[in-house]
Amino acid sequence: MTSSQSAQSTVALPRPQSLKSGADAEQTVRLETTGSAAEDPPPVPLPVYLQQTYWWAYLHPASVRIFERQWLVNLILWGNFAQLRDVALQELQPFSNGHILQVACVYGDFTERLTQRLGPDGRLDVVDVAPVQLENLKSKLNNDSARVGLHHQDSAHLRFADASYDCVVVFFLLHEQPENVRIRTIAQALRVVKPGGKVVFVDYHRPDVLNPFRYVMIPILASLEPFAMDLWRREIKDWLPDEARNLAIDKQTFFGGLYQKVVITAG
């Protein structure tokens, strides 16, 4: 699943006749793999909810050309992209010489800025279920690609070993997933992080009552992001697996409560 900053776009795109999935999708992209991923893995199909709900934002060939604009990404987040990006990257900084996992690609310069902050021994892996998004990210990395592994995987079924990453970041993904998928994504992120490592979530949050964007966002999210209101009704910690309920959790909100950063430290 692809990370989204597309909640407020009303761009109309013609729906393609067919969307590649399964083996066809796997063959459309050649990406670097690392020893942490299984050899000769089976094809990764596109989730049905992604094809039905977000094809216009992430799967259509024109989507990348439209949304891959820094100013547009920032506008969609009401001018808050840089701040939210930077607070996430600040959490990752202590692990700059470690092995970091980014779950889902992101429109804008999030990954490029992350790679710039890697230390000399740092390594970044990025997973996404949409090959077109991985190809887009590959084109953006340029000379930074030597330390970045791109993997065609589903966030709800990661193929990496337990405790194989020092830090995991999930930037604006959870609100795009139905609850059953969201629960598995969170569990997978916690599974692959090492003891003492962090899982960093940045996403939407229920705004304060006096925040005027609270009332602007309701129709936008209800129409374009059908799963996003879940994050208004419940806390991210509510979707943690039972064995993770006692982990240290730090939560901060931004822009009058419309956005949140939740950091979970693995035990």
Q: Is 151 within a domain?
A: yes
40 occurs within a structural domain: no
Residue count of the chain: 267
CB hemisphere CA count around 89 (13 angstroms)? 16
pLDDT surpasses 90 at 34:
no
> Identity (one letter) of the amino acid at 242?
D
Is residue 106 domain-resident?
yes
pLDDT in tens, 201-228: 999 999 999 999 999 999 999 999 999 9
C-alpha span between 93 and 167 (Å, rounded): 10
For 95-142, what is each residue's pLDDT tens digit?
Answer: 999 999 999 999 999 999 999 999 999 999 999 999 999 999 999 997
List the domain range (segments joined by +) for residue 74.
46-265
* Statement: residue 44 has pLDDT above 70: yes
Q: Is residue 91 part of a domain?
A: yes
Indicate if the pLDDT at residue 146 is higher than 80.
no
DSSP state of 196: E
pTM value is: 0.86
Q: Which residues of 155-191 are buried (b: 16+ CB within 10 A; e: fewer)?
A: bbebbbeeebbbbbbbbbbbbbbeeebbbbbbbbbbb
| Residue 253's CATH number | 3.40.50.150
DSSP letter at 206 equals P
